[in-house]
Amino acid sequence: MNILSKIYAYIYLRGFRVWYSYKTQAVLTLVSWVLPVFTYYFTGTALGDSLVSNLGAGNYTAYLVIGLAFQGYVASTITTASQRLRNEQLYGTIEYYVLAPSGALSFLIYTMMWGLVMNSISAIVILLVGIALGVTYTLSGTLIALVLISLLMFSSFGLAALSGAVVMVTKQGNPISVFYSTVSTLLGNVVFPVAVLPYYLRLVSYSLPLTWALQGLREALLYGQGFSTIFPDILIMLLFVAVLVPLGTYAYIAAFNKARKDGTLSQY
């Protein structure tokens, strides 16, 4: 099976067709993308504009929309990868995927592609909602934004691989997935600037790839800043990728080999 066939199988057959067959869930997914935008918009605009303007971050609605649009590349991607792995364990089909000629790592990569597709659609929908709420984007920053999004995807892959390694070993209870699906909204520069956090929480925030990616994306898409201004954010994202991708890949393969050796690969 060539690469295009695998992409078709994982994204369209295993991803879209299964997702769309549950039409109620598909509608609820769309609602879950849009509703938080309006929730934060109505509850946060009064205080939010004052907050971000005092910190030089501009309009709160624009600040919020960028954060919500791209947060999913981390939180949802990691959750999707670990949940898919967990589901295959429950269904008793995990061996067929990870012991296939494509290998265990291929299963993780192609599974993440579906999550990335869904997150990209989610980001577009949220950005369009932002336009309806009066947000104006700068097209001159599109290329830099694409670079930052790509780096965010790669760093998310490393984190998803670490999350998958935990699932392989513990079966239930995944601190990496829980952290990025809940705490990243609070600490990841998503709905308010990092500067308002206490010092010790700021340190945690600065250790998240999402924080730096969102900072650069706002500079690019809202203010049209050039490469020289956003280069520090790109450099930091490159460092995250250089650390997380090898570390996550190693941990995932090591956990898979351990589970296979112990005979616990399909246990749940």
pLDDT at 31: 75
Phi, then psi, of 133 in degrees rounded to 5? -90, 5
Q: How far apart are CA 221 and CA 66, in angstroms?
A: 8
Are 94 and 85 within 8 A, CB to CB?
yes
pLDDT at 74: 79
Are 70 and 214 within 8 A, CB to CB?
yes
pLDDT exceeds cutoff 70 at 45? no
* Helix segments in the chain, DSSP class H: 3-7, 18-21, 23-54, 60-91, 94-98, 104-132, 142-170, 175-178, 184-187, 199-206, 209-223, 227-262
pLDDT 10s digits, 190-243: 888 888 888 888 998 999 999 999 999 999 999 888 888 899 999 999 999 999
Rounded (10°) CA dihedral 170, 171, 177, 181: -140
pLDDT exceeds cutoff 60 at 266? no
Q: How far apart are CA 72 and CA 93, in angstroms?
A: 27
pLDDT at 227: 87
Q: How far apart are CA 192 and CA 152, in angstroms?
A: 19
Are 117 and 15 within 8 A, CB to CB?
yes
Q: How far apart are CA 114 and CA 217, in angstroms?
A: 23
Question: At 112, which amino acid appears?
Answer: M
Q: Which two tokens stand for residue 195?
A: 């500067």
pLDDT exceeds cutoff 70 at 41? no
Cβ within 8 Å of residue 191, ≥6 positions away: 40, 44, 64, 67, 68, 185
The structural domains of the chain, with segments of one domain joined by +, span: 3-262
Higher pLDDT, residue 221 or 30: 221
pLDDT exceeds cutoff 80 at 174? no
Would you say the C-alpha torsion 138, 213, 39, 129 has a positive or negative sign? positive
Q: What is the mean pLDDT of the chain?
A: 78
Best CA proximity match to 37, nearest among 74, 73, 58, 63: 63
Phi, then psi, of 228 in degrees rounded to 5? -60, -35
pLDDT at 239: 96
CA atoms within 13 A on the CB side of 161: 25
What is the average pLDDT across 148-154? 92
Q: How far apart are CA 162 and CA 247, in angstroms?
A: 8
Higher pLDDT, residue 64 or 6: 64
Q: Answer whether 0.85 is exceeded by the pTM.
A: no
